[in-house]
Amino acid sequence: MFDYDLLVIGAGSAGLSAATAAAQYGAQVAIADPGPLGGTCVNRGCIPKKFMVFAADFARQQCLAKSYGWVNPSGRFDWLALRSAIDQELAELRQSYQSKLTKAGVAVLNEAARFVDPHKVELGDRTITVDKVIIATGAKAVKPDLPGIDYGLTSRDMFRLEALPDQLTIVGGGYIGAEFSNIFATLGCHVTLIDNNDWILPGFDQDIRQTLHHSLMDQGIRLLPKTTLEAVRTDQSGMHISLSGQHDDTLLADTLLLALGRKPNLEGLNLEAAGVEVKDGAIAVDDYSRTAQPSIFAIGDCTDRVPLTPVAKAEGSAAAQTLFTDRPQAMSYRWVPSAVFCSPEAATVGWSEAEARSHDDLEIEVHCSRFTPLRYLLSPQKRESLIKLVVNAKSQEILGLHLVGDEASEMIQGFVPALQRGLTVAELTETIGLHPTSGEEIFDLD
């Protein structure tokens, strides 16, 4: 007899999804996490960052308003007022999660979990027995072993700044670095973005990378490609950031953000005692999220799959279904959309052009359109939008869709069900769009 049918380790998006789904199947469930409910996404990631994106949008609106006849649209931004408003909303979100767990009958254990064996787990000064376990401990920011690296902040620290930086240096041109550079530059900071690649956003389609790279530069962000962080030191004049590569220089800044990626958060779990295999720093799982120990599953960013909140939630519900029903659910990652919340936004689903061309058995054609949205035609600040289709030349099925422009993330989601079912270029171009909108451009590609 076990204390619980299921213990979920980690109360982020993946863990919350798994716990509530399993409880709905009738399992006796506990969820263990020493941190606040909601994990990184709610407390130190997606949600508070999106609030900051909205704050930056108001600054952009003030600039754009002058082109539309508004004589005096400017106002004063209060960073601490924004921080306070975000904190209040996050507290309410955490309370709503607590209420949902209570209603579902899930026990919340505010302790870090450590395996004794596959069915026995230490929580603080007590030990519980469990039939099954789902590990959902997420990931944490990477900090390289460099001189003075502890002076650098990670993304979670950016939400607790006491004041806006004057000179902000960001190392890493992935989506976190790109988004924060855009936010803080728009709010009035002098931003330098350093990356060791030719273009920002590695892994995205090359046209998206180049379009956003140039857009950030046009907005006053200093971009230093092919450049690597070497060391950090501080003195009375500020923070001295030593670089190598194409820009072999030393920068002076008051704030340094390290956006060099994330790695699975596995410390303290004692996975060896549970018989759980770790491969390349992540928990190894099969298509059903099952680890090498049949009674233990792992989901979300502690595995080496797609590190996105909606994916983590889907993995959580799928794992619960596999564990507690006779309908096991495998995950498919072929048509997972993702977005970069800069201005303009970037959104993508399916294969990039390079991924498609790596399939030797396919002949690929590309349809691409660049245009200035109607919204910016009256403004001296032109913004280029991009629509790109990657297509199987023989069948005319769309293999990938890539967008840059306002509300690109909202626009792309509606296409996913059709793309999953083999949407062709002809079916797309036969569709009548709404005029005048940016979205109609997708139905009029050459």
pLDDT of residue 71: 84
In a shared domain, residues 133 and 168: no
On the question of pLDDT at 174 being above 90, the answer is yes
On the question of pLDDT at 73 being above 80, the answer is no
Provide the token pair at 22: 């399993």
Does 19 reside within a domain?
A: yes
pLDDT of residue 148: 97
Does 329 reside within a domain?
A: no
**Residue 198: strand, helix, or coil:** coil
Q: Of all residues in the chain, what percent are helix, strand and coil, respectively (each to 5)? A: 35, 25, 40
In a shared domain, residues 242 and 106: no
In a shared domain, residues 318 and 292: yes
Does 10 reside within a domain?
A: yes
Residues 229, 235, 239, 243: what is their CA dihedral angle, to the nearest 10 degrees?
-20
Residue found under tokens 């270029």: 425
Q: 267 CB contacts (<8 Å, ≥6 apart)?
A: none
- Which amino acid, 166? D
For the ranges 64-68, 214-218, 232-236, 240-244, the lowest mean pLDDT is seen at 64-68
In a shared domain, residues 100 and 205: no
State the total domains in the chain. Answer: 3
On the question of pLDDT at 72 being above 80, the answer is no
> By CB neighbour count within 10 A (0-12 exposed, 13-18 middle, 19+ buried), where does 294 fall?
exposed
In a shared domain, residues 243 and 174: yes
The DSSP code sequence of 211-268 is HHHHHHHHTT-EEE-SEEEEEEEEETTEEEEEEEESS--EEEESEEEE---EEE--TT
**Residue 382: strand, helix, or coil:** coil
For the ranges 29-33, 64-68, 82-86, 188-192, the lowest mean pLDDT is seen at 64-68
In a shared domain, residues 81 and 197: no
Does 410 reside within a domain?
A: yes
Question: Final residue of a domain: which of 324, 347, 374?
Answer: 324
In a shared domain, residues 224 and 269: no
What percent of the chain lies above the pLDDT cut of 70?
100
What DSSP element (H or E) covers 5?
A: strand 4-9
**What are the tens digits of pLDDT across the range 74-119?**
778 999 999 999 999 999 999 999 999 999 999 999 999 999 999 9
**What are the tens digits of pLDDT across the range 388-411?**
999 999 999 999 999 999 999 999
Does 97 reside within a domain?
A: yes
Does 381 reside within a domain?
A: yes
Provide the token pair at 320: 């619960």
Domain of residue 169, CATH code: 3.50.50.60
Region 186-214 average pLDDT: 97
In a shared domain, residues 426 and 346: yes
In a shared domain, residues 129 and 276: yes
| Predicted model pTM | 0.95
435 is catalytic: yes
| Catalytic option among 240, 247, 367, 435 | 435
Question: Final residue of a domain: which of 324, 350, 365?
Answer: 324
Q: Which residues pair with 340 in a beta bridge?
A: 346
In a shared domain, residues 278 and 132: yes
Neighbouring C-beta atoms of residue 334, cutoff 10 Å: 10
Evaluate the CA torsion angle 222, 226, 232, 233 in order and state its sign.
negative
Residues 125, 129, 134, 137: what is their CA dihedral angle, to the nearest 10 degrees?
10
Does 48 reside within a domain?
A: yes
**What are the tens digits of pLDDT across the range 296-329?**
999 999 999 999 999 999 999 999 999 999 999 9
The most distant pair of C-alpha atoms in the chain lies apart, rounded to whole Å, by 73
Question: Could you tell me the residue range of the domain that residue 278 belongs to?
Answer: 4-140+264-324
pLDDT of residue 321: 98
Q: Please, how many CA atoms are within 13 Å of residue 143, restricted to the half-sphere of its CB?
A: 14
In a shared domain, residues 292 and 360: no
Domain of residue 408, CATH code: 3.30.390.30
Does 23 reside within a domain?
A: yes
Closest CA to 133 of 121, 151, 145, 147: 121
In a shared domain, residues 23 and 134: yes
Provide the token pair at 208: 């998206």
| pLDDT confidence bin for 438, thresholds 50/70/90 | very high
pLDDT of residue 76: 86
Question: Final residue of a domain: which of 226, 241, 260?
Answer: 260
pLDDT of residue 239: 96
Closest CA to 359 of 337, 396, 391: 391
The Cα 417–Cα 414 span in angstroms is 7
